[in-house]
A and B are shown apart, each in its own frame.
Chain A
Amino acid sequence: MTVHEMKHAASDSARLEAVGGRLSRVDGPAKITGAAHYAFEQRLEGLTHAVLVGATIAAGKVTAIDTRAAETAPGVLAVLTPDTIMALKTASDWFGTPPPDRPYCPLAREVTFSGQHVAAVVAETFEQAVAAAALVKVWYDETPAIVDLSDGNAGDGIAIDAMTKEWGDAEAAFAEAPVRVCAAYNTPREFQVAMEPHGLIARWQGDQLTIWEPSQWLDGMARTYAEWFGIPFENVRLVSPYIGGGFGSKALALAHSAVAAAAARMLGRPVKLVLTRPQNFTSYGGRAATRQTVAIGADRQGKIQSIVHRGVNETAVDGMWVEPLGSVTSIMYATPNFSSKQNVVRVNTVVPGAKRAPGENPSAFGIECAIDELAYELGLDPLEIRLINYAERDPHAKKAWSTRQLREAFATGAEAFGWAKRSREPRSMRDGHQLVGWGVAAGTYPVRRAYGEAMVKLLSDGSAEVESSSIDMGQGTYTILAQTAAETLGVPVEKVSVKLGDSRLARAGVTGGSRLAGVMTGAVYKAAGQALDELIGLALSDPRSPFHGLQANTLVVKDGRIASPRGDGPELSVAELMGMLGCEKIEAKGDTVPASFTREQRYNNYTTIAMALPHTEGDYSRHSWCAHFVEVRVDEDFGTVRVSRVVSALDSGRLYNPKLAESQWKGGIIMGIGQALLEEGIVDRRHGRIVNGNLADYMLPTNADIPDIQTISVGIPDPHSSALGGKGVGELGIVGVAPAIANAVFHATGKRVRDLPITLEKLI
């Protein structure tokens, strides 16, 4: 693959509209003025409201449900229980694994976690539904729950052999290494906490189902609905033009989605169901709690001889989630001997899910703290030890990196931060009562690739439309696709409108794993190129065209005007030309899907993740990279930690829009600050229940907690990663932030905190 040179690529990226230009979000004005309508804002005739009843135990059986009081409450249309909700079919999982042939009931008879939906009330108004839901009485036969990883009955869990990565003889080499560190690193259950809660509006018209639901994956979710109800995929329409944040949580249709869609079918009326904030902590999974031990053996010069890594993450009693804890461990540093193994432990929780950089994030916390510990053990600078062990190629896949600007990230970040002025000793820098510490850590995220499709239309007024069922949850899809189309077509960016978030549009796979920008810019580039070729073909061949008979085999379009490349002959606007041609519009659906794909494979390409391309496919290993430099201030009396400065240098390859990439990086860094210092789902161990499932008690950083953050791009176009040379942006920023902060806290205080979050009682 080669990087497709955009016409203005190098010289003109100062132009806002060009790919690489700092165009502001094109969806911004609609959001600021309220013109953007989110899923729950649809006004539908005859809309009804559903409210869920959650289990108050973490494990056991529902023995009886008394719905009489609720049924006779004012406005109530239906009370659904496992016995009365319509039967659904089990849907395939996100790999497309054919489902077992058994019914699916989204309301639980067997309770496996606290808060699990056991009943639902549908009423004319929301208030009536809330009041009636409180009248539903549920009896349980409670059995002991395993509340978390440290539960005495949790056990060692299940070995996930697919996660094992080994070369050399790691244990022996570690035992023989002259310098050794070994420690355990823990991260708690964390939640995505998107501002917009989960929920949906479902409407049936005959056998046609329309769902308004915030979604990171319209096609995948549409498939699930179709399979639940046994209707054709085409009969399901998902609408999700705007999303108030997802962070990995909004890619799947969930139990509450099924309840609403089933209720709508049963009642023959549209149903709206929005999870309460506490239900957003129990209706779908956040990041699984993790435990890792990292052992590193090195020679006296600091060269790593061996890394032995063991990881555990929690999963649900009735669902499997593997948070790949060895993902960063196995590629960050060169080592002749390596071993990583992972278990998962079933506990009574909702099945954990994806939260920004699943796997890489906790993995980096382990290895990037451990390497810092090794640096102190050896008396080396934490930056130096990273350079001594720099991996020149992927140590696990044994392949060349496609691009790896990590050395540049270290150098550029260190320079901008002033790392050279750091004093080596812990507890050696202070400002009044504040102990000051500087820490560094690296991060990485694989380049996930997939095939994409897009529709591009050139209209008779010279404007253009881009259509895709992909989505924009704030990352900037609307904007970069407008930029890509504008530049490819040669029309001004304000003449390009982008339609997203409707499953009737050109298909798209999941928006997750930082893949969307690379996939979709490639597809739009291709479709727009086809549209342009068609226009030029017509212009040269149609007798009505002023270019007809011109001795040229192509034409150029720039700023919405078309002319011959030599400048001879006419020059006119695209609109004028289309008028002369009598052409209403030119439509081109372009895709990057291999021509050999069958219909089935194409369907699976958009509705499962099974067709994604491995990041180590072919000759290269493809990843984004970053280095975070952090300053913290720890109050010597109170133990409170505040981050006072962050400088991060990041390699995401070529940036399609640096302004939006910087925002995403900063968003990730802010989330990392929350993870390091504040975030933790706190479980009451007697009840297996999260007790801080609300925005007042689940701590997220406020503006006052966030210092000035400087991000610096050190990426170069990566021809092996995407059509236009970009790598991943969205998840990279968070990876490595928590260990950088933990390392800075050690430098400030001399105290190593290996359990996140680093709250004041751990330092006091």
Chain B
Amino acid sequence: MRDFAYLRADSVEAARNAAALPGAMLLAGGTTLVDLAKCGVAEPATVVDISHIEGLDAIDVSAERAVIGALARMSHVADHPQVKSHFPAVSEALWQAASAQLRNMATIGGNLMQRTRCPYFRDPQNFPACNKRAPGSGCSAIGGVTRGHAVLGVSEACIATYPGDLAIALVAFDAEADLGDRKLKVEDFFLAPGATAEREHDIRPGEVITAIEIPGSAAARRSTYLKVRDRQSYEFAAASAAVGLELEGDGRTIRDIRVALGGVATKPWRARAVEEALKGKPLDEEIVRKASELAMEGAVDHGANHYKIALAPRVIARAILKLGETA
């Protein structure tokens, strides 16, 4: 039997100490950790259960900022009235993720730490080569089944898609992750594979995410998350966009716009080129569609995922135009 030690942390301090132990992994909702342990991908020596730490599930939202505790459940955040009114894209990203059962278990901290759905990554028995799992072993996906793989931010080492939804909205609105001793932009918290596919997050041994902070803004208030996928529910994005929009007083000219992409990149992908191209421009379908194409600069496909290059800009454009229609 694969035995492991189980520790229950009752404070963040205790969790940090335990997390520093070699082979330690935190357990929050367990929906990623238990799943990966079953696949044989995660083999923790020590499981540090943080789910009982009090106060870490607080959700505090005002027009200025949202502070969401790492243990807040996805479903609670999605349903929170203030989140819905000040950060609709965050709520929408959450309720379109996973399934109701998973959302009731899963936490915000765990959500940021979820791993890629690359089927080769998840099947070590049959596919030993995977740079993300075993650095230097190669990439089984390249040359294989790549329909779900990334077209942006890929490297020769890894083309795995970042699968989550919430982080796309967080990146669009400049959210920060609170790691206790340091805070960093969620955008910087996620790392593109480069030559070190095994490093997905800028998190060090002994660090624990305690909260997510999202600054309020007019764009966050007028925001949406559009997720396109083969089936209507319970599937990761083929392509998704978190978009926020602020218009000038004329109700037509774009003052501020935020665009981030999911389902197409190796990390939550901020599409700054699209934002820059649209700032100061009128909200016009032609202009929006054309600008949205800029998101795909540098895209590289591996055959079966080619469709994403055409799809993603259309998702962005639809999301922006949809926001334009809502007064």
Q: A44-61 interface mask toward B, CB cutoff 8 Å, 1 = contact, 0 = none?
A: 000000000000100000
How many angstroms between the C-alpha atoms of A686 and B139 in the bound complex? 13
Q: Which one of A125, A642, A697, A704 has the highest number of Cβ atoms from chain B below 10 Å of its Cβ?
A: A697
Chain B, Cβ-Cβ closest to A114: B126
Tell me which residues across on chain B come within 8 A of A764, comparing CB atoms. 307, 310-311
Chain B residues with CB under 8 Å of chain A are: 1-2, 40, 117, 119-120, 123, 125-127, 143-145, 147, 228-235, 238, 306-307, 310-311, 314-315, 317-318
How many angstroms between the C-alpha atoms of A114 and B123 in the bound complex? 13
How many angstroms between the C-alpha atoms of A685 and B304 in the bound complex? 13
Partner of A642, one of B126, B232, B234, B306: B232
Known contacts A637-B314, A697-B119, A764-B310, A682 near B228 by CB under 8 Å = no
Cβ contact within 8 Å between B119 and A692: yes
Known contacts A760-B307, A764-B310, A682 near B147 by CB under 8 Å = yes
Query: What is the minimal beta-carbon distance from B140 to any residue of chain A, in angstroms?
Result: 8
Tell me which residues across on chain B come within 8 A of A702, comparing CB atoms. 231-234
Tell me if A701 counts as interface (CB < 8 A to partner B).
yes
Known contacts A127-B1, A131-B1, A761-B307, A691 near B119 by CB under 8 Å = yes
Cβ contact within 8 Å between A125 and B1: yes
Query: What is the minimal beta-carbon distance from A452 to any residue of chain B, in angstroms?
Result: 40
Query: What is the minimal beta-carbon distance from A120 to any residue of chain B, in angstroms?
Result: 15
Q: Which one of B119, B314, B318 has the highest number of Cβ atoms from chain A below 10 Å of its Cβ?
A: B119
Chain B, Cβ-Cβ closest to A683: B145
Tell me which residues across on chain A come within 8 A of B119, comparing CB atoms. 691-692, 697
How many angstroms between the C-alpha atoms of A677 and B229 in the bound complex? 12
Chain B, Cβ-Cβ closest to A702: B233
Chain A, Cβ-Cβ closest to B304: A761
Cβ contact within 8 Å between A701 and B231: yes
Query: What is the minimal beta-carbon distance from A369 to any residue of chain B, in angstroms?
Result: 21
Query: What is the minimal beta-carbon distance from A397 to any residue of chain B, in angstroms?
Result: 41
Tell me which residues across on chain B come within 8 A of A705, comparing CB atoms. 231-233
Chain B, Cβ-Cβ closest to A73: B1
Known contacts A637-B318, A684-B144, A696-B117, A760 near B233 by CB under 8 Å = no
Tell me if A300 counts as interface (CB < 8 A to partner B).
no
Query: What is the minimal beta-carbon distance from A644 to any residue of chain B, in angstroms?
Result: 11
Known contacts A134-B40, A637-B314, A691-B144, A678 near B231 by CB under 8 Å = yes
Cβ contact within 8 Å between B228 and A638: yes
Tell me which residues across on chain B come within 8 A of A74, comparing CB atoms. 1
CB neighbors of B among A673-711 (8 A): 677-678, 682-687, 689, 691-692, 696-697, 699, 701-705
- What are 16 inter-chain pairs, A to B, with CB distance below 8 A? A75-B1, A433-B318, A638-B228, A638-B318, A639-B307, A677-B230, A678-B230, A682-B147, A684-B144, A686-B143, A687-B126, A691-B123, A697-B119, A699-B230, A759-B230, A764-B311
Cβ contact within 8 Å between A638 and B145: no
Chain A residues with CB under 8 Å of chain B are: 56, 74-75, 114, 125, 127-128, 131, 134, 278, 433, 635, 637-640, 642, 677-678, 682-687, 689, 691-692, 696-697, 699, 701-705, 759-761, 764
How many angstroms between the C-alpha atoms of A685 and B145 in the bound complex? 8
Query: What is the minimal beta-carbon distance from B305 to any residue of chain A, in angstroms?
Result: 9
How many angstroms between the C-alpha atoms of A117 and B40 in the bound complex? 19
Cβ contact within 8 Å between A131 and B144: no
Tell me which residues across on chain A come within 8 A of B238, comparing CB atoms. 760
The A interface, classified by DSSP as helix, strand, loop or mixed, is loop
Cβ contact within 8 Å between A704 and B232: yes
Chain A, Cβ-Cβ closest to B124: A134
Cβ contact within 8 Å between A691 and B145: yes
Cβ contact within 8 Å between A704 and B307: no
Tell me which residues across on chain A come within 8 A of B318, comparing CB atoms. 433, 637-638
Query: What is the minimal beta-carbon distance from B165 to any residue of chain A, in angstroms?
Result: 15
Known contacts A131-B1, A433-B318, A764-B310, A56 near B231 by CB under 8 Å = no
Cβ contact within 8 Å between B307 and A703: no
Query: What is the minimal beta-carbon distance from A349 to any residue of chain B, in angstroms?
Result: 15
Known contacts A134-B40, A682-B147, A638 near B315 by CB under 8 Å = yes
Tell me which residues across on chain A come within 8 A of B125, comparing CB atoms. 56, 134
Query: What is the minimal beta-carbon distance from B201 to any residue of chain A, in angstroms?
Result: 22
Cβ contact within 8 Å between B233 and A704: yes
How many angstroms between the C-alpha atoms of A685 and B303 in the bound complex? 14
How many angstroms between the C-alpha atoms of A757 and B147 in the bound complex? 14
Query: What is the minimal beta-carbon distance from B39 to any residue of chain A, in angstroms?
Result: 9
Chain A, Cβ-Cβ closest to B317: A637
Tell me which residues across on chain B come within 8 A of A689, comparing CB atoms. 126
Q: Which one of B1, B40, B144, B233 has the highest number of Cβ atoms from chain A below 10 Å of its Cβ?
A: B1
Query: What is the minimal beta-carbon distance from A670 to any residue of chain B, in angstroms?
Result: 12
Query: What is the minimal beta-carbon distance from B229 to any residue of chain A, in angstroms?
Result: 8
How many angstroms between the C-alpha atoms of A527 and B313 in the bound complex? 68
Tell me which residues across on chain A come within 8 A of B127, comparing CB atoms. 687
Closest 5 CB pairs of A and B: A761-B307, A704-B232, A704-B233, A637-B314, A691-B119
How many angstroms between the C-alpha atoms of A640 and B231 in the bound complex? 8
Query: What is the minimal beta-carbon distance from A107 to any residue of chain B, in angstroms?
Result: 17
Query: What is the minimal beta-carbon distance from B25 to any residue of chain A, in angstroms?
Result: 18
Cβ contact within 8 Å between B1 and A128: yes
How many angstroms between the C-alpha atoms of A691 and B122 in the bound complex? 10
Query: What is the minimal beta-carbon distance from B164 to any residue of chain A, in angstroms?
Result: 14
Chain A, Cβ-Cβ closest to B239: A638
Cβ contact within 8 Å between A686 and B144: yes
How many angstroms between the C-alpha atoms of A640 and B318 in the bound complex? 14
